[in-house]
Amino acid sequence: MTSLQIFLSRLRALFQRRKLEDELNDEIQVHLEMQIEEHIRQGMNPDEARYLALRKFGGVDQVKEIYRERRTLTFVETFVRDLRFGFRMLRRSPGMTTVAILSLALGIGANTALFSVVDAVLLKTLPVEKPEQLVLFEWQSGRPFRVSGMSGTSNVAVPPGHRGLSMFRNDVFQQMRKAQATETENPLSDLFAFGPLADVTVKVGNQPEVTKGQAVSGNYFAALRVQATVGRTLADDDDRAGASPVVMLSYQFWQERFGGNRGVIGQQLTLNQQSFTIIGVTPPAFNGTLQVGYSPTFTIPLAIEPLLKGERSNLGGVWWLNVMGRLKPAATQQQARESLNSPFQTAALAVMPPPRKSNQPAQIEVKDYPQLIVEAGGRGMLDRRKAYAPSIYGLFIVVGLVLLIACVNLANLLLARAALRGPEIKIRLAVGAGRWRLIRQLLTESLLLATLGGVVGVLFAYWFKDALSAFTNEDTGLLPGGVELSLNWRVLGFTLGVSLLTGVLFGLAPAWRATSLDLNSTLKQSGRSTSSMSRLSKGLLVVQVAVSALLLVGAGLFIRTLHNLQHVNLGFNQENLLIFAVKPEQAGYKEEKLLRFYQQLFDRLDHLPGVRAATFGKVQLIANDNFINDFLLPGETEATAAQHETMRQMVRENYFATMEIPFLRGREFTVQDNESATRVAIVNQTFQKTFFPNGDVLGKRITNNYKKREVEIVGVVADTKYMSQRDDIEPLLYTPWKQEATDIGKMHFALRTTGDPAALANQVRQVVHDLDTNLPVTEVDTQSGRSETTLAQERLYARLFSIFGALALALAGIGLFGVLAYSVSQRTKEIGVRMAFGAQATNVIFMVVWQGMKLVLLGLAVSSLIGYVLIRLLNSQYFGSDSWQQRMKQQLYGVTIGDPLTLLTIALLLTLVALIACWLPARRAAKVDPLVALRDE
């Protein structure tokens, strides 16, 4: 207790320094006066009296010092004093201070912005109660099973060791839920499911638009413990087959479309032409539990989903639901898994037929049964988060490197300055200041610098994160769309940590060195220092150069990749092409009606002024879109051969002419190729070369496994790129639209325009609206714009590497300049001597420049070594096709990592910049007047 009391009184004293100091002075003053008086009374004269009084007292200052130390928290006082001193030192060299703070701020700011990405995408937990209790279910099976997913049917085999599948069938989920609910001992308090509903037409007022939402089980909100901001949440009662259709809106949607009007509760909302009653609004921060970046605008009960999707309802056997649960307080994930594995297996086996390969046995062994996996669910769906992790972390490393360079730069500058203060420091050490004390003082200075850099860095971070959000989107693969980046306490805590760390890092080395130099050598103003640039300083410069080189090479490679991709031959003419998509089924069109609708639409589009030709295709080109079918070659049956795969496209008759794809052989589609005629197809050259290598393809019939249709190949066209600029050309099979009445669905239109395609966008929307007010027009763009968007990731990388590389180079250049300038200033005398002995200006320049260039060359050598190791690493066979290393390699296009042209260019660029950085101080050296220099002895 007493030590606490003492601490408190010391703490109090801290704030009353001035007053207490005065009091002490007064007290001592009075003491002395009284003693002097007594002495005078005893008969001494005033001087003697005073002298004796002082002697009796003892050392006044010493007493004061001891008193002071006892009175307050000395370490706080010294810290404050160091801080003040630090401020003064920084103010003394405002130029260096500003450069230092700015470069630190840039580095720290960039790191902070990126950390906010890491936080938002990878770390943030769901805004629900006790997210740590949530678990996520996935499953695996050792044997391939045929599974109908949302994008089609395929064979699924996810052997143990790989990430599981997170999709479940509704009936399987219901069985699991029944098992969980009936078992009182079950470790889960709730089991719930949710699934995405993309591409839904919602009509607010007169305007239809396409949006995305989700369907959830009745206990979804109860399990998550999320309340509605307005109205009520969905409940189990709403999740019944015959229940009245209800919907919840997302907070953002409610604000944007309904102006935050509370009166929407009870009103009707039209989704896919069906009427739903709005019963509530979800809370502002709640974005659902689906993939990161997928924010559902509406939520409906699972049982009502068929109303929206009609025949295409996923409840009829599609694996599309995500399943999560909430653990009871003491339960573990393992318990949850064990309790539900059996019900899951039974239900799954009942609905999964084995794959259709004829050479596989029909009986499945127990060990190959599908198995349930449980993972922590506090962050919602993890799959996509994990997919983003490598690129985010990769970028993080790059940015971290830039910060490193800034630190190294600063360390260099501080080293130089510390050496300048060498004599001062030596003297202080000599008169007894503790070494540790001095280091503390120097460290305080660098920490101060780092903290200031951190504060300014937070400001930069605001701009950087906004820039990051603006410049990345779904397509770049760096940031998922729709993610909100915020500088919350976690991120700011990170900033603080990084600032302190950098402060210590770049402060410690100079502080250590400054206080450890041999006493003798610096106290004397020795004529020639053994090396005017210490080895540490040189080492730091080499590192800077090496890192800049690596970053710049990265930039060069990505720029070339981007350039190559932008100039790839696509196989068709992408200029002056307006593209858009419509999905008439959403407005109720089917088969006959659908074909008629499209015909009507074309009638109008063909005659739209500014449109030279109008066509469409099922798949949008150069947009990472695809459509694949299996088929059998003539003479093959399912029993005798395995299926082949081909890319697919359904087109209008004028497709090849409009897209300007050269037609090679046979005949094009005509309007006669309709439902009543023979089914025909046209293939691309690669298809012909792959499956009919002897060239004889016209007239051949293949069996399309999809609906078992036979088609006759009547023509061959030139190859085009399909999914993106960089993919290899795959076999492609085209069929005429009129023969695809049942499958045609959503189509992607392409209009060849006479002028700027974007100018026609509104007219096109009007044309569609005139035909049907319930049909939204989506994905409106120009083809060249769409192609550019597909390159978003490459563009981003090129830009980022360039920015960071340039920044790194600038920092390295400044560092080189600073250190050489300092070195020159230290060697003035030596230079004077040389010149006195006949050295020319050019000799001096050469000497200084070589001093710097030596380091640059060494830096280039180091970076080459690192680069070489990196290339070997990436090329090694250790890594599977899934790993990030392989993906890194696949980022480039048309250049290899060791591309000589790029490497040479960067090396030259670096050398040039370095030469300039060296030449400036060299010039100053050459101007040294030998007489003046020598006289300064």
Element (H, E) at 903: helix 900-926
Binding site for another protein (CB under 8 A): 2, 5-6, 9-10, 23-24, 26-28, 30-31, 33-35, 37-38, 56-60, 62-63, 66-67, 70-71
Among residues 261, 910, 278, the alpha carbon closest in space to that of 552 is found at 910
User: Minimum distance between the CB of residue 5 and another protein, rounded to whole angstroms?
Assistant: 6
Positions of E strands within 292-368: 298-301, 322-327
What is the end-to-end Cα distance of the chain in Å, rounded?
A: 63
Q: Nearer to another protein by C-beta: 39 or 648?
A: 39
DSSP 782-833: EHHHHHHHHTHHHHHHHHHHHHHHHHHHHHHHHHHHHHHHHHHHHTHHHHHH
- Name beta bridge partners: 535: none
User: Minimum distance between the CB of residue 434 and another protein, rounded to whole angstroms?
Assistant: 22
Between the CA of residue 154 and those of 150, 318, 319, 345, 743, what are the distances in Å? 10, 11, 11, 20, 18
User: Minimum distance between the CB of residue 16 and another protein, rounded to whole angstroms?
Assistant: 14
User: Which pairs from 95-101 meet CB under 8 Å and 24+ separation?
Assistant: 96/413, 96/417, 97/449, 99/413, 99/814, 100/410, 100/413, 100/449, 100/453, 101/449, 101/452, 101/453, 101/456
Q: Nearer to another protein by C-beta: 38 or 727?
A: 38
Q: Nearer to another protein by C-beta: 71 or 177?
A: 71
How many Å apart are CA 915 and CA 908, to the nearest integer? 10
Q: Nearer to another protein by C-beta: 35 or 573?
A: 35
The amino acid that residue 616 corresponds to is F
Element (H, E) at 591: helix 591-606
User: Minimum distance between the CB of residue 75 and another protein, rounded to whole angstroms?
Assistant: 17
DSSP 57-79: H--HHHHHHHHHHHHS-HHHHHH
Q: Nearer to another protein by C-beta: 53 or 711?
A: 53
Q: Nearer to another protein by C-beta: 31 or 232?
A: 31
User: Minimum distance between the CB of residue 71 and another protein, rounded to whole angstroms?
Assistant: 6
User: Minimum distance between the CB of residue 35 and another protein, rounded to whole angstroms?
Assistant: 6
Q: Nearer to another protein by C-beta: 49 or 716?
A: 49
Q: Nearer to another protein by C-beta: 41 or 872?
A: 41
Element (H, E) at 615: strand 611-617
Q: Nearer to another protein by C-beta: 34 or 641?
A: 34
User: Minimum distance between the CB of residue 933 and another protein, rounded to whole angstroms?
Assistant: 55
Q: Nearer to another protein by C-beta: 37 or 183?
A: 37
User: Minimum distance between the CB of residue 848 and another protein, rounded to whole angstroms?
Assistant: 59
Residue 813 φ/ψ, nearest 5 degrees: -65, -45
User: Minimum distance between the CB of residue 32 and another protein, rounded to whole angstroms?
Assistant: 8
3-state secondary structure of 733: strand
Q: Nearer to another protein by C-beta: 27 or 466?
A: 27
Among residues 414, 312, 322, the alpha carbon closest in space to that of 375 is found at 322
Q: Nearer to another protein by C-beta: 72 or 291?
A: 72
Q: Nearer to another protein by C-beta: 26 or 466?
A: 26
3-state secondary structure of 699: coil
The amino acid that residue 513 corresponds to is R
CB burial of 871-900 (b: ≥16 within 10 Å; e: otherwise) equals: eeeeeeeebeeeeebeebeebbbebebebe
Among residues 266, 256, 269, the alpha carbon closest in space to that of 307 is found at 269
Q: Nearer to another protein by C-beta: 42 or 182?
A: 42
How many Å apart are CA 103 and CA 409, to the nearest integer? 9
Between the CA of residue 350 and those of 159, 275, 344, 368, what are the distances in Å? 20, 35, 10, 15
Q: Nearer to another protein by C-beta: 18 or 707?
A: 18
Among residues 814, 193, 887, the alpha carbon closest in space to that of 545 is found at 814
Q: Which structure tokens are listed for 224?
A: 């998550």
User: Minimum distance between the CB of residue 4 and another protein, rounded to whole angstroms?
Assistant: 11
User: Minimum distance between the CB of residue 47 and another protein, rounded to whole angstroms?
Assistant: 19
Q: Nearer to another protein by C-beta: 38 or 183?
A: 38
CA dihedral (237, 238, 244, 246) positive or negative: positive
User: Minimum distance between the CB of residue 74 and another protein, rounded to whole angstroms?
Assistant: 13
3-state secondary structure of 650: strand
CB burial of 671-702 (b: ≥16 within 10 Å; e: otherwise) equals: eebeeeeebbbbbbbbbbbebbeeeebbebeb
User: Minimum distance between the CB of residue 63 and another protein, rounded to whole angstroms?
Assistant: 4
Q: Nearer to another protein by C-beta: 29 or 896?
A: 29
Q: Nearer to another protein by C-beta: 13 or 102?
A: 13
Among residues 516, 545, 521, the alpha carbon closest in space to that of 531 is found at 521
Within 10 A of 425 (CB to CB), how many other CB atoms are there? 22
What is the four-CA torsion angle of 715, 720, 722, 727, rounded to 10 degrees? 130
What's the per-residue H, E or C state across 438-504?
HHHHHHHHHHHHHHHHHHHHHHHHHHHHHHHHHHCCHHHCCCCCCCCCCCCHHHHHHHHHHHHHHHH
User: Minimum distance between the CB of residue 64 and another protein, rounded to whole angstroms?
Assistant: 9
How buried is residue 264: exposed, middle or buried, by Cβ count under 10 Å (0-12/13-18/19+)?
Answer: buried
Longest dimension (CA), the chain: 140
